[in-house]
Structure 1
Amino acid sequence: MSAPEITRASVGLRSERGPLLLAVMLSIGLVAIDATILATAVPSVVDDLGGFTSFPWLFSIYLLAQAVSVPIYGKVADLYGRKPVMLVGIGLFVVGSLLCGVAWSMPALIVFRLVQGLGAGAVQPMGMTIVGDVYSLAERAKVQGYIASVWAMASVVGPTLGGIFADYLSWRWIFLVNLPLGIAAGWVLWRRFDERVEPRKHSIDYLGAVLLAGGGSLLLLGLLEGGVRWGWGSATGVAILAAAAVLVVAFVAVESRTAEPVLPLWIFRRRVLNASNSGSFVVGVLMLGLTSYVPLYAQAVLGHGALVAGLTLASMTIGWPIAASTSGRFYLGIGFRRTVLMGAAFVVAGGLLLLRVSADSALCELALPCFVMGIGFGYVASPGVVVAQSSVGWEHRGVATGTNMFARSMGSAVGVAVFGAIVNSRVAGAGTAGTVDLEHLAAGVLAPAIHAVFVCSAVVAFVLLLSGLLMPRNAGTQPAP
């Protein structure tokens, strides 16, 4: 017996989808805000708990937990339904937030961030999958714009709230504020999302899940901390990446033999999914390049304050939802392939504009490339998720969505490693690392070092054209198998 197709009837009347969409947006918004809200409060956290050398793990452990759990949640959702997985994700996120809010030490806070990350790994892909289940292809175009706007607002609201809580209340409210919002989102999903999944016998791929989590964790750990906590060629760095490779090979071997693999290998034999996932990977790489170094360039090189630097990056998050909300008109009219290629062209144009930025540039000359690239991201990422969901049936939609999100997380980790290595090598090569203040570095070293990141970003942008060309011409026009 095949798995049932979830349609709009599964949530009752058309008018009842509104509260469900709001609950999904609220859930995703919590995850999106949490990705940025802590950054501005790090000094307050360190003053209170100590552990300055350990605070980067507050971000790394969250990313690790979120990335490696996404494909596993996707498979479980295809077996047992989206609703229980989404509720478990919200529950873990709320519990993790509560524990973070009462953390008594930096190690405890890091562990509780792990719990939060495990919850976030379910919330984002399940939210996107529920949207794919409940809304039609044409309707999804508009809804994707709403989802993109959540991330746009979060990128501005997150750092602002973090600063307000740290300065006027307590950094603990960064986490405690998630409790009522998360509970409200879970309650609406519980009441409004009437999912009908016929019970079937399943064989759970426990070994595959363990190997994927272990291999993915070690790979991301090696990429995130390589060149930071240990050298790329050190015994520790080589051992971690080698162990990751062994576990990934073992995972592939297991998945090729198990009856119900947690990450089916057929995903990598579908051209449309390869195109969508490769585009998501590159978007993840470029996003980290902009997010990490555009504000630093605006502050350390162009001489602006932190608030202005953040608003410069916000130009990207303005362009993204504009493109995402209008992308449906394009892919329904000219097809997914041409829409993704159009988005890739915007990203390339933004990358080329970024090459013209120098230490003498006006702030608008830095914000404009970010805005243009944000438009490109919207025309690549949103159609990529929609076409991935549309190319498979209900029983595989969770895996398809989860794999797309996993690809973006992996791209982010690679971006952190590559761009960080570029900047660190330039600073170290100048013989000034750790010996002068930031102002001196900005004048003599940081400007060309970050500009090298801009050059690399422009080159990587051309890879998006390849992912667009990989997309089949009839993508999205064939019924899901």
Structure 2
Amino acid sequence: MDSSQSVGSWRELGSHFGTAVVLAGGVLVGAVNVYLAASLLPTAVADIGGGRLYAWNMTVFLIAQVVATMLVSRTLARIGSIGSYLLGFGVFAAGSVLCAASPAMPVLLVGRGVQGLGAGLLTGLGFALIHSALPRHLWVRGSALISAMFGLGNFVGPALGGIFAQFGSWRLAFVVLALASVMLAALAPKALPSRSRSRSRTERETAPVAMRSLLLVIGAVGVVSIAGILSNTLAMAILLALALVLIWAFVRVEKRMSVRVLPSLTYRAGSALRWVYLTIALLASGVAVETFLPLFSQRLGGLPPVAAGFFGAALSLGWSVTQVVSSSARREQTVRWQQVAGPGLLAAGLAVLALLQYRGASLLVVIVWLPVLLIAGAGIGLAMPHLSVAAMASTTDKQEGEKAAAAIATVLTTSTAFGAALAGLLVNVGGPSSVSSARWLLLGFALLSALGMLTALRADGSGTHVAQGRSESEMESTAGP
């Protein structure tokens, strides 16, 4: 029996160039914005004040982003792909203009929230439209391209932000983001399907919102985001525990309600989809170490700020480059191996880097940090595109498949918020020693990444494959309470 899968070429994806540009561009502007804004904020605070609200910029953005990703399926159902993208780009551009014109920090925070809504919608649409706008055999390539935009944004964002901040032009940076959104929006009507192919007019008009689930996730992300800006370790731990309780409540509500955020297959006994999502979450949360890598590169390695920033982005660079190569895998056995080996490679890279952290490290040791970071990032790129496709292909039902694809963005943004808070907690636990903080951070996330190997093995069970051959009605009839 042929165990290989059909994987289109990059050249064939190029025949869908307009669609690929819109999908990838929507994710990229949001990813660039995260790190660009972080680089610009010190300059902005010096100009308009509001230093006491500094940390809330990321909190507001993350909460808004997660909320928007959870509304992707409803937005698509009501206004279709073109309307959804025009809305996403429009909201993001409006938020960017508001940020650029902000006379004070509270106004900037509102702008960041509006940006977050636009970025979350664009991120979710990027994954959802892979499912509906590209042929099945190009899903792996499309997923690799979309996922690579996160890594590219993490790499490009700080560099662009540093350039604009160097010249004191932080407002101009937000204007550039707005213009990029407008340009991509102009391309959307020509590049995307003109109508929804999966739902009738009646279904579009009555698409419900999973309000209880939405509120629980907002609460969990809000609590985690607040935990990430606290300095008291005990308070952070309590808030993280509260967030886990809210996530548990979210799962319980999702199981019992007919209107859900995640596909119903996620909660079906024996389904592998839940393990796919968990593996994606564990991989994505590992990127949180990038927040502190520039700091440790300067304190322990004696690197100048520019070089330290490059080291901080090396993980994302390894992620982005590797995805381009790993997406070429065709044999089913190779794909499964990559899904399991990816978290393991990330864990090994972070663990080795932890052992190489000590004060006054020699230049040779510091140089070794770079390939170790690239290898660690390669672990994410090795597995991520195939995990994304595993989620999309978990059902033959078009509506549920679209929801499964859009839910990837919700998982990614939520795990980013959890990862950021956990990174702050681990650094504080290891303090005041920089060496101890670095090791706590890296070893902590190495352990989480290693757990990703276990969830990937569970995702390699028969649940997902069985689900592919069954209709949604059959799955609902056998679902647990």
Same-fold status (TM-score > 0.5): yes
* Residue among 441, 451, 455 paired with 1:453: 441
Q: Are the counterparts in 1 of residues 50 and 105 from structure 2 also a CA contact under 8 Å? A: yes
How far apart, in 1, do the equivalents of 2:152 and 2:449 lie? 25
Partner residue of 1:438? none
Q: Are the counterparts in 1 of residues 81 and 195 from structure 2 also a CA contact under 8 Å? A: no
Q: Which amino acid aligns with 1:402?
A: A
Per-residue deviation, residues 231-276 of structure 1 (Å, max 9, x unmatched): 5766x99699769957974885487344x44445442336332122
Q: Which amino acid aligns with 1:147?
A: I
- Following TM superposition, by how much is the alpha carbon of 1:379 offset from its aligned partner in structure 2, in angstroms? 1.7
Q: Are the counterparts in 1 of residues 132 and 402 from structure 2 also a CA contact under 8 Å? A: no
Q: Specify the SS of the correspondent of 1:81.
A: helix
Partner residue of 1:339? 338
Q: Are the counterparts in 1 of residues 65 and 118 from structure 2 also a CA contact under 8 Å? A: yes
How far apart, in 1, do the equivalents of 2:285 and 2:411 lie? 10
CA RMSD for the aligned pairs? 3.0
Q: Specify the SS of the correspondent of 1:200.
A: helix
- Following TM superposition, by how much is the alpha carbon of 1:306 offset from its aligned partner in structure 2, in angstroms? 1.5
Q: Specify the SS of the correspondent of 1:195.
A: coil
What is the correspondence of 1:104-123 to structure 2 with a 5 Å cutoff?
104-123=103-122
- Following TM superposition, by how much is the alpha carbon of 1:178 offset from its aligned partner in structure 2, in angstroms? 1.8
Partner residue of 2:394? 391
Q: Specify the SS of the correspondent of 2:107.
A: helix
How far apart, in 1, do the equivalents of 2:288 and 2:95 lie? 25
Partner residue of 1:130? 129
Per-residue deviation, residues 27-50 of structure 1 (Å, max 9, x unmatched): 222111101111222221011111
- Following TM superposition, by how much is the alpha carbon of 1:157 offset from its aligned partner in structure 2, in angstroms? 2.3
Q: Specify the SS of the correspondent of 1:194.
A: coil
Q: Are the counterparts in 2 of residues 93 and 120 from structure 1 also a CA contact under 8 Å? A: yes
Give percent identity, aligned residues only: 20
Q: Are the counterparts in 1 of residues 297 and 308 from structure 2 also a CA contact under 8 Å? A: yes
- Following TM superposition, by how much is the alpha carbon of 1:123 offset from its aligned partner in structure 2, in angstroms? 0.2
After TM superposition, the score normalised by the length of structure 1 is 0.84
Partner residue of 1:354? 353
In the alignment of these two chains, the number of paired residues is 449
Q: Are the counterparts in 2 of residues 33 and 154 from structure 1 also a CA contact under 8 Å? A: yes
How far apart, in 2, do the equivalents of 1:65 and 1:367 lie? 34
How far apart, in 1, do the equivalents of 2:335 and 2:15 lie? 29
What is the correspondence of 1:256-267 to structure 2 with a 5 Å cutoff?
256-258=256-258, 260-267=259-266
- Following TM superposition, by how much is the alpha carbon of 1:71 offset from its aligned partner in structure 2, in angstroms? 1.9
How far apart, in 1, do the equivalents of 2:273 and 2:79 lie? 23
Q: Which amino acid aligns with 1:276?
A: V
Q: Specify the SS of the correspondent of 1:329.
A: coil
For structure 2, the 5+ residue unaligned runs are 1-7, 472-481
Distance 1:151 1:227, change over 3 A: closer
Q: Are the counterparts in 1 of residues 151 and 317 from structure 2 also a CA contact under 8 Å? A: yes
Distance 1:254 1:421, change over 3 A: closer
Distance 1:304 1:232, change over 3 A: closer
What is the correspondence of 1:64-83 to structure 2 with a 5 Å cutoff?
64-78=63-77, 81-83=80-82
What is the correspondence of 1:275-424 to structure 2 with a 5 Å cutoff?
275-289=275-289, 291-334=290-333, 336-359=335-358, 360=361, 362-392=365-395, 393-424=397-428
Q: Which amino acid aligns with 2:72?
A: Y
After TM superposition, the score normalised by the length of structure 2 is 0.84
Partner residue of 2:213? 212
Q: Are the counterparts in 2 of residues 141 and 327 from structure 1 also a CA contact under 8 Å? A: no
- Following TM superposition, by how much is the alpha carbon of 1:15 offset from its aligned partner in structure 2, in angstroms? 7.3
Farther off after superposition, 262-271 or 322-331: 262-271
How far apart, in 1, do the equivalents of 2:372 and 2:243 lie? 39
Farther off after superposition, 367-376 or 186-195: 186-195
* Residue among 199, 202, 210 paired with 1:200: 202
Q: Which amino acid aligns with 1:126?
A: L
Q: Are the counterparts in 2 of residues 272 and 388 from structure 1 also a CA contact under 8 Å? A: no
Farther off after superposition, 189-198 or 21-30: 189-198
- Following TM superposition, by how much is the alpha carbon of 1:138 offset from its aligned partner in structure 2, in angstroms? 3.1
Q: Which amino acid aligns with 1:471?
A: A
Distance 1:480 1:82, change over 3 A: farther
Q: Are the counterparts in 2 of residues 72 and 263 from structure 1 also a CA contact under 8 Å? A: no
Partner residue of 2:456? 468
